Amino acid sequence: MLEIATKGTKNYWLWIAFLLIVIGAGTVAYLDQFFNGLMITGMSRDVSWGFYIANFTFLVGVAAGGVMVVIPYYLHDYEKFHRITILGEFLAVASLVMCLLFIIVDLGQPVRMLNVLLYPSPKSMLFYDMLVLNGYLFLNIVIGWKVLEAERNQVKPPAWTKPLIYLSIPFAIGIHTVTAYLYCGLPGRGYWLTAILAPRFLASAFAAGPAFLIILCYIIRKFTKFDPGWEAMQTLSKIVCYAVIANLFFFLCEVFVVYYSGIPGHQTHLQYLLFGYHGYNALVPWMWSGFILMAVGAVFLVIPKLRNNYILLPVACAMIFFGAWIDKGMGMIAGGFVPSPLHHVTEYMPTLQEIIITLGVYAAGFLVLTILYKLATQVKEEVGG
Amino acid sequence: MMEKSRRSFLKVAGIAAIGLGAAPAMNFAASDSQGSAAAVKAKNPDALHAERWGMVILVKKINDKIAKQITHACHTQHNVPDFTHEVDTQKFPDTRPVNHNQEIKWIWKEKFHYAFPDKEDEFLNEKFHHLPFMVLCNHCKNAPCVQACPTRATFSREDGIVIMDYHRCIGCRFCMAACPYGSRSFNFRDPQPFIAETDPDFPTRSKGVVEKCNLCAERLAKGEQPHCVEAAEGAIVVGDLEDPASEIRKLLRENYSIRRKQSLGTEPSVYYIV
């Protein structure tokens, strides 16, 4: 089936070449980091995780968001999603590839990575995160591939894929829950120490993942003969709408608890993010942009007339996607570290080199996504035509 | 010349590293009555033992000069890089400029409201604002860093010391996020250019690993007091918290003491008497 990816239009190859150039630039920047250490990043003693882990956290959400097409189709036999289920699964694969790459580029000693397997530590949440992320990646590759292959051969998918599909649902919830547990179980970090963190992560995941899927549907419609179906996209947009509203609601719950209780260890982080703290306010415009983007996007999607607008829908989805990226990426990670446990303020901004490495990882993910989507759309075209 | 000195240095560092890495394992074997011949050989009759090591800091006895002495003694003898150190450009020709936010520290002074942010008080006695509070790893009984470490590179010894295996650490920095005291530092870069004189008694670290205070486990094993205790002119006392006859227990009996962020339940082993 992979041979499909070796034949394409001029635009296809131009896009692949562009991605390879970005990957190349990212690799060169990473090699410098590999030999000189994480000193090339904007991270510090106080802010010891940065852009890499921020993007990792966000992309775990995008990967988990794929389950929002799997559940309706496989659990509720919602036929409209038949054509896009594979897109959700392959988006999860590409996102997880990026997640794992982000973890690797964040390690100080990447060559010792396998120590996680050599000395398994069941008390560490990172151990479980590794298990669920790799498990979910494996499940989606196998399921996506087998189901697509069966479709190409116009036969039913093998019976053993069914239990794997059902298993992938708790795994999707699991990857994001465990990723939230990385943060919310740490006693000294007031911004993360909240039971609503995992639900909040899931809500923003179920908004950002399907929102991105809708945008991808537009791109597929433009560049291939395969039509994912306007009705499917409409249903997806409703999912995005309610998920982003849930995410905003959870955030407001957090704001209430933090400000009404007034406990300084919890309040200072939100204060820093929303209004600035002791004159430090680098992230304030980011945070407000993030929440305004999500809120306006939610309004667009909740009003049927606007949601049904073919031009407006991808705009609203892009707003929600970037809003969630800010909220869960930079805001969540840098916000948790500022102020430090000693209430010192060290602000964080990624360096250019850090951004180039990040773009390299994204390009690698998009390369995987392009190839998988190329297979999926081509097979669908063949079968449908 | 340069090549040679680097090689001999690596040799010394390597031997030191092997010694430190083997020490906990050997101590463990030695405490076993079935201990092998090799373990018996390593057992130092002078070694100091405790059921649970702890520290008492007599804050009033510390002034800025003593604070500096303490940090200096600890950092130089543990090969902690000093980013203000002028780099020998002949030995390390391509050293890039430093980011001071990426510094490494094991023990350092903080003002009261930073050391105890939850005890901030607008009517606090003025003199507390100026006292130097030495902060370091608390060697917590319930250490969040030990729980977080995905490779068990950070672990609690039976005697309560929270210690690291620098050769197993993968540099994920989960322990730094987990520590509520900001006691951990990461080697964002190779520390060598910033070590004025390498102390051969202790391993140097490579880039990409986390490090922190080890309560001078290597000195206790030789029957010596930690560097900070020696430099503190009586202001820091280290001893066995579980031994009612120990000096630190006597100090804790006779004085009111505080610990950092007690409410988190990490059970720090470092006490402050103010």
Quote the percentage of chain A above a pLDDT of 90: 90
Which residues of chain B does A124 touch, with a Cβ-Cβ cutoff of 8 Å? 147-150, 174
Contact criterion met (CB below 8 Å) for B92 and B192:
yes
Kindly list the residues from chain B whose CB atom is less than 8 angstroms away from the CB atom of residue A37: 187-190, 207-208
Domain-by-domain residue ranges, chain A?
2-384
Taking only the tens place, the pLDDT of each residue in A285-302 is 999 999 999 999 999 999
**Tens-place pLDDT, residues B110-155:** 999 999 998 888 888 888 888 999 999 999 999 999 999 999 999 9
Query: Mapping DSSP to helix (H, G, I), strand (E, B) and coil, where does residue B156 land?
Result: strand
The whole-angstrom separation of Cα B171 and Cα B151 is 10
**pLDDT value of residue A198:** 96
Q: Give the angle B225-B231-B233 at the CA atoms, nearest 5°.
A: 100
What are the CA-CA distances from residue B256 to residues A112, B56, B236 (Å)?
Answer: 46, 11, 16
Residue contact B148–A126, C-beta within 8 A: yes
Does an H or E element contain B13, and which?
A: helix B2-31
How many Å is the Cα radius of gyration of chain B?
19
Q: How does pLDDT run across A151-172, given as a tens digit for each residue?
A: 999 999 999 999 999 999 999 9
Res A212: pLDDT: 97
Residue B4 has pLDDT above 80, yes or no: no
Q: Indicate the DSSP class of residue B192.
A: G
3-state secondary structure of B162: strand
Q: What is the CB-side half-sphere exposure of residue A356 using CA atoms within 13 A?
A: 17
Chain A hits for B105, Cβ within 8 Å: 45
Cross-chain residue pair B261–A188, CB shorter than 8 Å: yes
**What pLDDT, on the 0 to 100 scale, is given for residue B122?**
84
Compare all CA atoms of chain A with the CA of B179 and give the residue at the minimum distance.
A188
> Does the structure show a pLDDT above 50 at B39?
no
pLDDT band at A6 (very low <50, low <70, confident <90, very high): confident
CA-wise closest residue to A178 among A120, A136, A115: A136
- Choosing among 3.40.50.10240, 1.10.10.10, 1.20.1630.10, 1.10.1200.10, the CATH entry for A2-384 is 1.20.1630.10
Ordered by where they begin, the domains of chain B are 44-273 (3.30.70.20)
Mutate to test the interface with B, among A103, A112, A178 (most CBs of B within 10 A): A112
Distances (CA, A) of B163 to B21, B114, B144, B220, B274: 11, 24, 13, 13, 28
Long-range (24+ apart) CB contacts under 8 A made by B14-17 are: B16/B200, B16/B201, B16/B202, B16/B203, B17/B166, B17/B167, B17/B203
Instruction: Tell me which chain B residues have a C-beta less than 8 angstroms from the C-beta of A118.
Output: 151
Mean pLDDT, all residues of chain B: 88
Q: Does residue A49 sit at the B interface (CB-CB below 8 Å)?
A: yes
Are the Cβ atoms of A39 and B150 closer than 8 angstroms?
A: no
Query: Phi and psi dihedrals of A37, rounded to 5?
Result: 95, 175
The verdict on A264 touching B (C-beta cutoff 8 Å) is yes
Residues in chain A closer than 8 A to B209 (CB atoms): 108-109
Kindly state the helix (H) or strand (E) to which residue A361 belongs, with its residue range: helix A352-384
The beta-carbon neighbor of B176 closest among A48, A112, A342 is: A48
In one-letter notation, the amino acid at residue A190 is G
Across the interface, whether the CB atoms of A108 and B102 are under 8 A apart is answered no
How far apart CA B17 and CA B23 sit, in angstroms, is 10
User: With 50 as the cut, is the pLDDT of residue B31 above it?
Assistant: no
Nearest alpha-carbon partner for B55 in B161, B175, B174, B168: B161
Q: What is the mean pLDDT of residues B220-241?
A: 96
Distances (CA, A) of A232 to A73, A238, A299: 11, 10, 20
Looking at residue A280, what DSSP letter applies? B
Of B114, B180, B208, the CB nearest to A344: B114
Number of A/B CB contacts below 8 angstroms equals 154
Confidence of residue B32 (pLDDT cuts 50, 70, 90): very low
Please name the residue of chain B whose CA is at the shortest distance from the CA of residue A129. Answer: B150
Asked if A113 is an interface residue toward chain B (Cβ–Cβ < 8 A), one would say yes
Q: Provide the pLDDT for residue A315.
A: 96
The mean pLDDT value of chain A amounts to 94
User: How would residue A343 be classed by pLDDT, with cut points 50, 70 and 90?
Assistant: very high
Residue where the block lists tokens 């039971």: A195
pLDDT over 60 (residue B37): no
Task: State which amino acid sits at residue B204.
Answer: T
Q: What is the pLDDT of residues A17-65, one digit of tens each?
A: 999 999 999 999 999 999 999 999 999 999 999 999 999 999 999 999 9
Residue with tokens 């608890």, as numbered in its chain: A257
**B150 interaction partners in chain A (CB closer than 8 Å):** 116, 121, 124, 126-127, 130
Longest dimension (CA), chain B: 62
Q: Which residue of B has its CA nearest to A116?
A: B151
Residue A257, pLDDT score: 96
What ipTM was predicted for this assembly?
0.92
Per-residue pLDDT tens for B231-271? 999 999 999 999 999 999 999 999 999 999 999 999 999 99
- DSSP H or E segment with residue A245: helix A230-261
* Cβ contact B174–A43 (<8 Å): no
What is the distance between the alpha carbons of residues A184 and A190, in angstroms, rounded to a whole number?
A: 9
A314, A47 Cβ separation under 8 angstroms = no
Would you list the DSSP string of A282-322?
TTHHHHHHHHHHHHHHHHHHHSHHHHT-TTHHHHHHHHHHH
In chain B, helix, strand, coil percent, each to 5? Answer: 35, 10, 50
pLDDT band at residue A329 using 50, 70 and 90 as cut-offs: confident
Angle at B34 between CA B28 and CA B36, to 5 degrees: 75
